[in-house]
Amino acid sequence: MSYSTTVQELIDQLGRLPGIGPKSAQRVAFHLLKAPSEDALRLSRAIIDAKERVSFCSRCFNLSEGGDECAICLDSRRETRMVCVVEDSQDIVAIERTQEFRGRYHVLQGAFSPIDGVGVEQLRVKELMSRVADEDIEEIIVATNPNLEGEATAALLVKYLKPMGVRVSRIASGLPVGGDLEYADELTLGRALEGRTVLDTGNDSQP
Amino acid sequence: MKIRSLSLTDWRSYRSAEVSFGDGLTAVVGDNGQGKTNLIESIAWISGTGSFRGASDDALIRLGADAAVIRSTIEADDGREELVEVEIPRVGRNRILINRQRATRSSELLGVVQVTVFSPDDLELVKGGPSLRRGWIDAALAAHHPRNAALRGEVERVLKQRNALLRSVHGRLDADAEFTLDVWDSKLADAGERLRTARRAMLNEMTPILATAYDAVAQQVAMVECHYESSWSGPLANALLTSRELDIRRGITTVGPHRDEIHVTIAGAPARTHASQGEQRSLALALRLAADGVVRTVGVAEPVLLLDDVFSELDPNRAAALLDALPKGQRILTTAADLPSAARPDQVIRVHNSALTLESP
């Protein structure tokens, strides 16, 4: 049995969303068909509103609502000499939750991955370079994911930024705070050992 | 470690079956097509390495059923008892529980269940292409330390990315593509060098074990040697740069650990081309014994030995020699023919139409 064109179209559209396979698309479609009209309308309105009001910040490519620049770039209290580079806007939310970073951001909109057809042209690398050239930026903090693609992206940024005379740093990876050493997986623990910090150099002997 | 009990539901040909295993040698007997291999395949599966027959998960579920379930109690080397439960559904992700705790990756099973599988297909290790021998050494490395499995995974991932990049430039390299290729080259150079170093060290450790195992199975002193032939010399970073033009033209990476070869020689002659059928069979068994031996000597674990129908191909002398050469501990073998006369099983399980009955040995 096949569905009517309208229902099939709904299933097809839902199936194009990330993380939703044909079965889930079917389930969501039937849920929507059974739901009260106002629920379905509210969802469709939310999608339309978001698409109309939300755009990408012209400076950092974070999500920006109702304006050219995003709220963080417009915030005059933020440190403008430090820029944290992330893969996606969601990463900004995670870093903002820490309340440890008061600088600005730059969203690459992805990570370097030839398999997925993502190269330098698809990432906002050139835009980052013009920011470094135009703005008074002292340090770029690369906060891409600690996986292969994220590391490759970090290495790529270093290559592009090298001639520009800006300090480039990488966020550390290691053990979760409040965790137990014995429960850490080998790779994380290995990385934590590699990135250890000196507590005492042992060289400052008293006279 | 030891497999204490095993229960199967809708696994392969089994609707429902339960069996417990003793300490020593267990013989699984029965005619062809009754479910002997299916039984030990389930044990191999819960060691986290997938099907040794290369089957997809879908093929593991009994026809008409929605999910296959394996449940097994394991006795670790230190005497602790562990419970492994696996559900392989037709739709959705596999569920793996270790001591009722959800495991996120199937590789977590590696830490609980270790097996060494001997199968007639092992002959391909000797006669087949180099990728099988690379797989053989990489599996030994992974059993040695999970870090090696991660390293191998990293090399594969970098290669996929680099090859995708090479194909996307269509034979022509602009400045941006050159920059990005530099990045993947340095990743590959780093991981590739580390993998080669690890493989060479592992091969050095395994070669004497392999030679001894071969002599034991073949019942002669034959001088088996291994030689690791790398696809590059000097730093890999330089080799990648040298082959860059060729790589771009062909759209693949032509040097690296994925192009290395392991040569095995018997008395100086390449086993792949010069050894007799019998010698090749003995060598195949010895390769498995060596991989098993190295896991034992580094003291990670005592694997359970699973021998799938290997005796049908061996003459009685070699069969007896193999049984003799097997490390003690839990051994489970299947056979359609009569047991080799040298085998003194502690337990006999008869398989008929995917039903299991214990017989007195």
Q: pLDDT, tens digit, for every residue of B292-333?
A: 998 888 766 789 999 999 888 888 888 899 999 999 889 999
In the beta sheet, which residues pair with residue B2? B75
Q: What is the mean pLDDT of chain B?
A: 91
CA A186 to chain B, closest CA, distance in angstroms equals 7
Over residues B149-165, the mean pLDDT reads: 93
Domain B1-114+302-361 has CATH 3.30.390.30: no
Residue A76 makes CB contacts below 8 A (sequence gap 6+) with none
In this predicted structure, the answer to whether residue A206 has a pLDDT above a threshold of 70 is no
Q: What is the pLDDT of residue A205?
A: 65
Selected residue with higher pLDDT from B342 and A172: A172
Selected residue with higher pLDDT from B127 and B179: B127
Report pLDDT digits (tens) over A81-113: 999 999 999 999 999 999 999 999 999 999 999
E strands, A48-157, where? 54-56, 63-65, 82-86, 104-107, 139-142
Residue B79 makes CB contacts below 8 A (sequence gap 6+) with none
In 3D space, the residue among B189, B260, B190 whose CA is nearest the CA of residue B226 turns out to be: B260
Chain A residues in contact with B253 (beta carbon < 8 A): none
Report pLDDT digits (tens) over B32-78: 999 999 999 999 999 987 888 888 889 999 999 999 999 999 999 88
Distance between CA atoms of residues A21 and A11, nearest Å: 10
Q: What is the pLDDT of residue B312?
A: 82
Decide if A121 and B168 are in contact by the 8 Å CB cutoff. no
Which residue in B has a C-alpha nearest to residue A120's C-alpha?
A: B176
* In chain A, % of residues over pLDDT 70: 98
- DSSP output for B71-89: EEEEE-TTS-EEEEEEEEE
In the beta sheet, which residues pair with residue B335? B29
Which residue in A has a C-alpha nearest to residue B165's C-alpha?
A: A114
CB neighbour burial string for B237-265, b if at least 16 within 10 angstroms, e if fewer: bebbeebbeebbeeeebbbbbbbbebebb
* Sheet of strand B115-118, all strands in order from the earlier edge strand to the far edge: B115-118, B304-308, B331-335, B25-29, B347-352, B355-359
Over residues B133-151, the mean pLDDT reads: 88
In this predicted structure, the answer to whether residue A4 has a pLDDT above a threshold of 90 is no
Report pLDDT digits (tens) over A117-164: 898 889 999 999 999 999 999 999 999 999 999 999 999 999 999 999
Report in angstroms the alpha-carbon separations of B267 from B212, B222, B341: 14, 6, 31
Structure tokens at B111: 């830490």
Q: What is the pLDDT of residue B299?
A: 64
Decide if B183 and A119 are in contact by the 8 Å CB cutoff. no
In this predicted structure, the answer to whether residue B336 has a pLDDT above a threshold of 90 is no
Which residue in B has a C-alpha nearest to residue A112's C-alpha?
A: B180
Distance between CA atoms of residues B121 and B139, nearest Å: 16
Decide if A152 and B183 are in contact by the 8 Å CB cutoff. yes
Confidence of residue A202 (pLDDT cuts 50, 70, 90): confident
Report pLDDT digits (tens) over A39-52: 999 999 999 999 98
Q: Which residue has the tokens 């340090």?
A: A139
Most confident of A26-30, B109-113, B177-181, B338-342: A26-30
Decide if B184 and A186 are in contact by the 8 Å CB cutoff. no
In this predicted structure, the answer to whether residue B243 has a pLDDT above a threshold of 70 is yes
Instruction: Delimit the domains of chain B by residue range.
Output: 1-114+302-361
CB B20 within 8 Å of CB B5: yes
Structure tokens at B28: 């699984």
CB A83 within 8 Å of CB A168: no
Confidence of residue A1 (pLDDT cuts 50, 70, 90): low
Which candidate in B176, B178, B185 is best for mutational testing of the A interface (most A CBs within 10 A)? B176
Over residues B213-237, the mean pLDDT reads: 94
Q: What is the pLDDT of residue B276?
A: 93
**Between A148-161 and A125-134, two packed helices, what is the crossing angle to 10 degrees?**
40
State the number of CA atoms in the 13 A half-sphere of A92 facing the CB. 22
In this predicted structure, the answer to whether residue A207 has a pLDDT above a threshold of 60 is no
Pairing of strands B355-359, B347-352: antiparallel
Most confident of A87-101, A189-203, B145-159, B162-176: A87-101
Over residues A29-38, the mean pLDDT reads: 92
Which residue in A has a C-alpha nearest to residue B146's C-alpha?
A: A186
pTM over 0.90: no
Distance between CA atoms of residues A120 and B65, nearest Å: 48
Structure tokens at A177: 């705070």
Count other Cβ atoms within 10 Å, centred on residue B71.
17
Report pLDDT digits (tens) over A44-88: 999 999 998 899 999 999 999 878 899 999 999 999 999 999 999
3-state secondary structure B123-188: HHHHHCCHHHHHHHHHHHHHHHCHHHHHHHHHHHHHHHHHHHHHHHCCCCCCHHHHHHHHHHHHHH
Chain A residues in contact with B173 (beta carbon < 8 A): none
What superfamily would CATH give domain A7-55?
RecR Domain 1 (1.10.8.420)
Amino acid symbol at B154: E
Instruction: Delimit the domains of chain A by residue range.
Output: 7-55, 75-170
Distance between CA atoms of residues A115 and B168, nearest Å: 9
Decide if A156 and B179 are in contact by the 8 Å CB cutoff. yes
Chain B residues in contact with A149 (beta carbon < 8 A): 161
Decide if B168 and A120 are in contact by the 8 Å CB cutoff. no
Which residue in B has a C-alpha nearest to residue A161's C-alpha?
A: B179
Which residue in A has a C-alpha nearest to residue B154's C-alpha?
A: A148
Over residues B252-275, the mean pLDDT reads: 95
Q: Which of A16-20, A102-106, B165-169, B310-314 has the lowest mean pLDDT?
A: B310-314
Decide if A149 and B165 are in contact by the 8 Å CB cutoff. no
User: By the CB < 8 Å criterion, does A193 face chain B?
Assistant: no
CB B133 within 8 Å of CB B260: no
Distance between CA atoms of residues A110 and A138, nearest Å: 24
**ipTM higher than threshold 0.85:** no
Chain B residues in contact with A151 (beta carbon < 8 A): 187
Cα radius of gyration (chain A): 23
Selected residue with higher pLDDT from B48 and B196: B196
CA B218 to chain A, closest CA, distance in angstroms equals 40
In this predicted structure, the answer to whether residue B19 has a pLDDT above a threshold of 90 is yes
Structure tokens at B314: 């061996």
Distance between CA atoms of residues B280 and B302, nearest Å: 26
A:67-126 residues touching chain B, CB 8 A cutoff: 112-115, 117, 119-121
Over residues B125-147, the mean pLDDT reads: 91
Distance between CA atoms of residues B230 and B241, nearest Å: 16
Distance between CA atoms of residues A151 and B186, nearest Å: 11
Can you name the CATH fold of A75-170? Answer: Dna Topoisomerase Vi A Subunit; Chain: A, domain 2 (3.40.1360)
Question: Are domains A7-55 and A75-170 of this chain identical in fold?
Answer: no
Structure tokens at A110: 């992805």
Maximal C-alpha separation, chain B = 74
Cα separation of the two ends of chain B: 23
Distance between CA atoms of residues A107 and A61, nearest Å: 5
